Amino acid sequence: MLTFKNFNVADWFSFYRVAAAPILLLLIWYDERAFFSWFLLSCYATDALDGFIARKLKITSPRGSQLDSFGDQITLALGVIGLLKFEREFILENLLLIIIVFIPYIVQMIIAYLKYGKASAFHTYLAKLSAIMQSVFILWALFFSPDYTLFYCMIAIGLLETFEEITLIFMHDKWASDVKGIYWAVKERKRSIKERKRSKKETE
């Protein structure tokens, strides 16, 4: 039975990002840019902490990966909403490009749900780099002003990460977490094939 006692400290950091959503929405509603920016920064900080703690304490789990991904998605969505509120002109000027970038992401989500019944949570190196770039760009834009260099870097890495996620979904018949990337997935597949061949020879 799943109870609050089953959740570890890393899971609670993910819960923090989810619980922060209503507060962040209120801050957007009341046009509190400074408070919103600092509170969003705290959410991104917990995102960095939960993964580090989970690996350090060796408490990583599929459930934790799902919670982390869910918290990431909510934080990103609220960051975009915040930009739409506080940097509307920038968003409108680049709306077409933003929509084009989001289409592969939506496709990736749909493919994952159709295949696994839930969102993917590979947590690849590219995904981590993409998350860092997103947080840097959004926070820089909120605290200062949008920077186009950061914006284009974020988009390029985000697209690469999305296409890698789609590729990994097709490579994995079953839901998997903590896959470093395509190179490591291919390496693991080759190792599994060799083990199956070795096992088959031993049983013959």
What pLDDT sits at residue 58? 62
Look-up of token digits 């960095």: 48
Predicted local distance difference test score (pLDDT) of residue 3: 46
pLDDT at 50: 66
User: Which pLDDT value is given to residue 7?
Assistant: 63
> Taking the complete model, does pTM exceed 0.85, yes or no?
no
Domain coordinates in residue numbering, the chain: 4-203
Instruction: Identify the pLDDT of residue 196.
Output: 74
CB atoms within 10 A of CB 48: 14
| Tokens linked to 132 | 């860092």
Which stretches in the chain have pLDDT values below 70? Answer: 1-10, 50-65, 200-204
**Cβ atoms within 10 Å, residue 94:** 16
What confidence score (pLDDT) does residue 64 get?
A: 61
- Helix, strand or coil, per DSSP, at residue 123: coil
Q: What is the pLDDT of residue 51?
A: 64
